[in-house]
Amino acid sequence: MTRAFALLNDKRVRDWLYQIALVLGLLALTVFFVRNASENMVKAGIASGFDFLWRNSGIDVPFVLTGYTRADNILSLFWTGVANTMLVTVVAIVLATLLGFVVGIARLSSHWLLSTVAGAYIEFVRNIPLLFFVLFWYFGVIAALPGPRDSLGIFGVAFLNNRGLTIPLPDAPANFRIAAFVILASWAAQWLAVRWARRRKERSGQDAPVLAIGVLLILVVPALAITWASLATRWDIPVLRGFNYRGGFVVIPEFVALLAALVTYTAGFIAEIVRGGIQAVPHGQTEAASALGLRPRRILTLVTIPQALRVMIPPLTNQYLNVLKNSSFGAAIAYPDVVSLFMGSALNNTGQAIEIIAMTLAVYLVIGLAVSAFMNWYNARIALVTR
């Protein structure tokens, strides 16, 4: 008995007991709600389970990356929605980051007009709802483009109109798979070359031609691989037939509008993060770099930005997660993402609300946790102080 009281007085033991009790309580609460929901669904005659995923879908999707057809099952429809969500999210994150860095640096420019325009853009974006941007790009910009017969031609092979952007499509993608493998191998070789050069520098003090090797492996080799694949592949060029173009691949206007909205909206917030991160770098760092004879552009890229990243990464992670969650606004313009296809079309066809909602939430949770894990890893990698 005395030993038991002694263990209870141990703070670590008490903390473990509290956590175990909390977990057991949450499990009991979850079991209660699941059993209650199951009993109510049985009484109401509502089917439960995930057998519906193997039913025939019968739903047409205007924008497909996975080879889905309406003859496939609902599980294939689900993965099509996930792929479309991932596509717009990844592309929007990359473009919003680039635009945000440009606007954020312009906000700190000594040029009055450039700084004022960047500041006005940031203040406008941060005080307008995202839904406005989605509707503006869809109804105000995309819908104002000419019809297919008056399309805006791009080098005679791509055509932009109010039905989307029609681009050439390779008949056989095998050459591009080879090119992608070559590019990945080239980038992996560059990573190994950088590690080798760093170790050589630490061991002998001798520099290696990292810049020349990087230009070759990161730029020249991928450019040659893509050029070879393009020339060695037969292309399906879009041709105007009747009232629309036939052939090629159509980037639907819903994708363009949602992507433009996410990029222009998120870039305003990223710009403020960039501005704050740059201003957080002590002035002594830039003054020392200037005293060494570095030009302003080199100071920005070699001294300021690398140190500012340590401040910017945590809030950037929040913005990247917001891009993922805000992609669900595509349902407002019928972009075929996981919300529109699965929680919209599939839910109407099957009526299995609990399963469909749970799977959709799981998609956002898993992707969000993956983004957070990657950004946390990168943040720990560049941190000055490690635990």
**Tens digits of pLDDT across the chain (387 residues):** 566 656 666 667 677 778 888 889 888 888 887 777 767 766 666 666 777 788 888 888 888 888 888 888 888 888 998 999 999 999 999 999 999 999 998 998 888 899 999 999 999 999 999 999 999 999 888 888 888 777 777 777 788 888 878 888 787 778 888 888 988 998 888 888 888 887 877 777 777 677 777 778 888 888 898 888 888 888 777 877 777 777 777 888 899 899 999 999 999 999 999 988 888 888 787 778 778 777 877 777 777 778 888 888 889 999 999 999 999 998 888 898 888 888 888 878 877 777 888 889 999 999 999 999 998 888 888 776 544
* Domain boundaries of the chain, sorted by first residue: 2-46, 55-124+251-382
**What pTM does this model have?**
0.80
Class of domain 55-124+251-382: mainly alpha
114's CB contacts (< 8 A; 6+ apart) are 106
d(Cα 327, Cα 337) in Å, to the nearest integer? Answer: 8
The sign of the dihedral angle between the CA atoms of 372, 375, 378, 384 is: negative
**Smallest Cα–Cα separation from 321: which of 360, 273, 258, 369?**
369
Pairing of strands 152-154, 158-161: antiparallel
